[in-house]
Structure 1
Amino acid sequence: MHFIWSLIVGGVIGLIAGAITSRGAKMGIISNILAGLIGSAIGEGLLGHWGPQLAGMAILPSIIGAVILVLVVSAIFGRAKN
């Protein structure tokens, strides 16, 4: 059950990161979940585990990490298309 909550919370975090960066329309459900889960690891690694937590993820650092991840991935793949 914890695994399912992690996927749901990861998806919401990825969705928020996509909305903040204006790249959410290009991201699908799987991309949102991956951005949220990986972004959570990045954010918590850089900023720690402060603030409210849900499904074992600190929400604010996770969103910041997901925004960083979405921007970096967009920059890499945006350049590869040109």
Structure 2
Amino acid sequence: MLNLIGAIFSGLVIGALARFFYPGAVDMGWGMTILLGVGGSLLAGLVANRGMGGEGVNRAGCLASVLGAIVLIFIGRQLGWHL
């Protein structure tokens, strides 16, 4: 249960940061922001293969998660999705 709450909270923070740093307006609700942040974290984890790494929070992992969420915004816009 705590893992789920942690994923939702970190998804909200990462998604909000990605929306802030993405050039241009990104109109979406809180639910999509959370999903965007969780998806960005998963994308960054797959690319960086952090599953083998250590536990805890590190700056590089947070930055990679925000960049992953920004990439998801870009891909969604290119595919014509209304985020």
Give the counterpart letter for 1:34 in structure 2: L
Query: What's the counterpart of residue 60 of structure 1?
Result: 63
Q: What is the TM-score with the length of structure 2 in the denominator?
A: 0.74
Query: What's the counterpart of residue 4 of structure 1?
Result: 5
- Cα distance in 2 for partners of 1:24, 1:35 equals 15
Higher helix share: 1
Work out the percentage of aligned pairs sharing the same amino acid. 24
Q: 4+ residue stretches of structure 1 with deviation over 6 A?
A: none
Higher strand share: 1
Query: What's the counterpart of residue 71 of structure 1?
Result: 74
Q: Which stretches in structure 1 are left out of the alignment for 5+ residues?
A: none
Q: Which stretches in structure 2 are left out of the alignment for 5+ residues?
A: none
TM-superposition CA deviations, 1:30-78 (whole Å, max 9, x none) = 111111111111111112437x727xxx312111111100111022126
1:41 partnered with 2:45: no
